[in-house]
Amino acid sequence: MIPLPTNWSSMKLHRNLVFATVDSLHQIFNEKKQADKVLKNTLKRDKRWGARDRSFIAETTYDIVRWKRLYAEIAEVKEPFDRPNLFRLFTVWAVLKGIKLPDWPQFEGTPARRIKGKFDEFSRTRKIRESVPDWLDELGEKELGKRWEKEIHALNSLADVILRVNTLKTNIKKLQQALSEENIETETLKGHPFALKLKERANVFITKAFKDGWFEVQDASSQKVAQMLDPKPGMRVVDACAGAGGKSLHLAALMENKGQVVALDIYENKLTELKRRARRSGAHNIETRLIESTKVIKKLINKADGVLIDAPCSGLGVLRRNPDTKWKLSPEFLESIQKTQREILESYSRMVKPGGKLLYATCSILPSENENQVAWFLSAEAGKDFTLLKEEKVSPAQSGYDGFYMALLQKKNNE
């Protein structure tokens, strides 16, 4: 997406774009729909919209979702938000960005000075300033102590667009050159051998390089996961919670299309998407299997050289991409997902053969989903044959990328 102008005060608001933004917010806040899906549909509404128009709708909607609590406190509105209240949220956003409000009925009597004064006042309270629910702010501080403040602040920034080069088809240099020819400039990232960062936001999905399967969009932190498992050509590796397969594709590339990647998931539509992506990227060694019963796991017991458990989690580490997550999370959900993580560890770890490796990963920054789960597993009956080789915690505040946790374990070779 093309970035919005940095000189906000010169920006002119267009009625159809503002209304599209307000309609999107209604669906996200009041109908509890997923932000990315809502925007996908909204952006199809008018074929005349150019890249800047779409960028305005998407980035403004995400911005207001990200700062919902702060803007609602300033606007003195409560959920469920009726249409005038949604316009008040938009008004707060516009005033704080320094945008001149047009002479529309929706913006009549806007108290601009009061809005700025309230912003200064609320900025002194972390949970309002960083726009998080009370319970989440308390939990973050309880689990991370002083680190929480920096992490949640970092997670409220806009995520960079990072690409992972598909080494089955090309290399970093050739990909950079191809994108440059389409006016997309990138830079390499130290410590991330397969990553390119866009210097400016752009729609990379319309490029020839994307259509030819030369890259995937994948955050730098997420790229570390497959690398930590370090799969070799000829191995059998199981991606136990494959989803739409970002990490399966990376595993296939690291294995040079030799051996087998068994991609498992409980959702058929995600595995269908994985197959489509695998075709585009030329990954021929991926086999998808839908987990419809325990038989799927039983057939693979003691058969895998490596098992990746990219466990379902709170998603707190990727709030920059999915800001609506913080409004959907609940203490009850966290409790149930931690139970699920333990069940998955117990069951799926059985697929690792003696001497093989198990990688447990989450896109969370909470110890209760990460190192505490690994410690629990190692002390449980199911983990008695495993030892922890290494672990890595990626801090959004320190790295500038998504928050991730990875733990590499090895099963004892009893031979």
Is 313 one of the catalytic residues? no
For the beta carbon of residue 298, count every other beta carbon within 10 angstroms.
11
Alpha-carbon distances, residue 356 vs 10, 142, 232, 263, 295 (angstroms): 60, 36, 12, 17, 21
**Cα–Cα distance, 26 to 39 (Å, whole number):** 12
Q: If you ran DSSP here, which 8-state letter would residue 27 be given?
A: I
- CA 204 to CA 221: how far, in whole Å? 20
Torsion of CA 377, 351, 408, 305, to 10 degrees: 160
Provide the 3-class DSSP secondary structure of residue 406. Answer: strand
Largest CA distance in the chain: 79
Instruction: Tell me which amino acid residue 112 is.
Output: A
Name residue 127's amino acid: K
Distances (CA, A) of 371 to 239, 365, 405: 20, 10, 8
Separation of alpha carbons 249 and 365, rounded Å: 24
Between CA 283 and CA 298 the distance in angstroms is 26
* Whether 359 contacts 307, CB under 8 Å: yes
Is 55 within 8 Å of 61 (Cβ atoms)? no
Among the options 165, 316, 363, 374, which is catalytic? 363
Residues marked active site are found at 363
